[in-house]
């Protein structure tokens, strides 16, 4: 059996190894039946235990809830004597392992059950799509390049990735929920008005550009034209963020932190 370690299980106190295997072409998290049997401390021989708990149980189906692994020969520990080639080994899905643990009705069984529930929760948190089409990868690469060029905010980056997945019908459920801004951000026009500032937005932007807080950027437009827009520089990002324009994702809109806007205003005006 070729296994891939389920690394998220290591973020909890790892009692039993959880690995990824393929059942009917689908990757699932699984548990080695012998390892589970050993952990549970059952007094039954493994062959009898696995038959009673899983193989002969009407609640579990082979190649769905568990699989019989290929027979193999390997040396016994500290000896050169091989184990029987007729030894049967099984991989249980994590859900099956949880149910079997519960059926033991022992402290160890309950401990294993709680462990598998924790593993399930962690797996859901880090779940990612099994396959991302090449065209989507290209689009994401382009989005990453644009994000760096335009200094997108973290919120906008998540939003763009989500849009790329949705347009291409790729599962985006693994993405974090929409990131709420820790600080309130508003446009310069709105903040100048709220604070009853004398400067109008055009003069305000001009001062920001002169002092390196804002810069002019351009993008190709229809008919071979060039359209310009403004973006906060690295220096300006201390006072705001660049959000994706709802009209065109190749443009951004500077927004400023409400709580530090007047600090920026006083710096550029010398007041």
66-85 pLDDT per residue, tens = 999 865 444 444 444 455 55
Query: What average pLDDT score do residues 191-215 get?
Result: 94
| More confident of the two residues 135 and 88 | 88
- Which of 45-59, 135-149, 251-265 is the least confident region? 135-149
Judge whether residue 183 has pLDDT over 80: no
| Residue whose structure tokens are 């008919």 | 223
* Structure tokens given for 148: 């760096």
Backbone angles phi, psi at 248, to 5 degrees: -155, 125
For the sheet with 185-186, list strands across it.
185-186, 252-257, 240-244
- Where residue 12 falls among pLDDT bands split at 50, 70, 90? very low
Q: Percent of the chain at pLDDT above 90?
A: 39
Minimal CA–CA distance to 243: which of 177, 193, 183, 198?
183
For the chain, how big is the Rg over CA atoms in Å?
29
Q: Note the pLDDT of residue 154.
A: 63
**Could you tell me if 90 and 51 are in contact, meaning their C-beta atoms sit under 8 angstroms apart?**
no
Q: What is the DSSP string of the chain?
A: ---EE-GGGGGS---S--EEEEETTEEEEEEEHHHHHHHHT-SS-HHHHHIIIIIT-TT--BTTTEEEPPP---BPTTSSPBPPTT---EEEEHHHHHHHHHHH-SHHHHHHHHHHHHHHHHHHHH---S---HHHHHHHHHHHHHHHHHTB-HHHHHHHHHHHHHHTT---TTSPPPPPPSS-EE-HHHHHHHTT-SS-HHHHHHHHHHTTSEEEEEEE-GGG-EEEEEEE-TTGGGSEEEEE-SS-TT-EEEEEEGGGHHHHHHHHHT-
Higher pLDDT, 225 or 103: 103
Domain boundaries, the chain: 4-126, 129-180, 181-271
- What is the average pLDDT across 32-41? 93
Confidence label for 3 from pLDDT (cuts 50, 70 and 90): very low
* pLDDT at residue number 232: 92
Q: Indicate if the alpha-carbon torsion angle 62, 119, 174, 151 is positive or negative.
A: negative
Residue 51 CB contacts under 8 Å (≥ 6 apart), including other chains: none
With cut-offs at 50, 70 and 90, classify the pLDDT of residue 20: confident
What span, in angstroms and rounded, lies between the C-alpha atoms of 168 and 175?
A: 15
Q: Please give the Cα distance from 100 to 114 (Å, whole number).
A: 12
Listed range (38-52, 221-235, 257-271) with the worst mean pLDDT: 221-235
pLDDT at position 61: 93
Binning pLDDT at 50, 70 and 90, where does residue 124 land? low
Q: What pLDDT is recorded for position 180?
A: 47
Place of tokens 């050169």: 80
Which position has the higher pLDDT, 218 or 161? 218
């Amino acid at each position: 059996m070729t296994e891939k370690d389920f690394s998220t299980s290591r973020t909890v106190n790892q009692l039993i190894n959880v690995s990824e295997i393929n059942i009917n072409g689908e990757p699932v998290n699984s548990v080695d039946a012998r390892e589970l049997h050993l952990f549970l401390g059952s007094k039954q021989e493994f062959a009898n235990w696995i038959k009673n708990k899983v193989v002969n149980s009407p609640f579990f189906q082979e190649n769905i809830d568990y699989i019989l692994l290929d027979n193999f020969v390997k040396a016994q520990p500290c000896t050169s004597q091989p184990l029987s080639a007729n030894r049967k080994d099984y991989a249980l899905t994590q859900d099956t392992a949880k149910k079997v643990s519960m059926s033991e009705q022992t402290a160890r069984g309950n401990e294993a059950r709680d462990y598998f529930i924790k593993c399930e929760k962690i797996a859901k948190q880090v779940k990612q799509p099994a396959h991302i089409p090449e065209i989507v990868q290209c689009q994401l690469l382009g989005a990453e390049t644009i994000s760096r060029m335009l200094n997108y905010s973290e919120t906008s980056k998540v939003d763009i990735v989500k849009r790329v997945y949705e347009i291409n019908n790729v599962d985006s459920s693994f993405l974090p929920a929409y990131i709420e801004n820790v600080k309130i951000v508003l446009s310069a026009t709105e903040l100048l008005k709220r604070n009853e500032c004398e400067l109008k937005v055009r003069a305000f932007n001009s001062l920001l550009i002169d002092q390196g807080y804002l810069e002019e950027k351009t993008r190709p437009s229809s008919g071979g034209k060039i359209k310009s827009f403004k973006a906060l520089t690295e220096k300006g990002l201390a006072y705001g963020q660049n959000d994706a324009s709802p009209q065109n994702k190749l443009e951004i809109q500077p927004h400023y932190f409400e709580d530090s806007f007047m600090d920026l205003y006083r710096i550029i005006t010398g007041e």
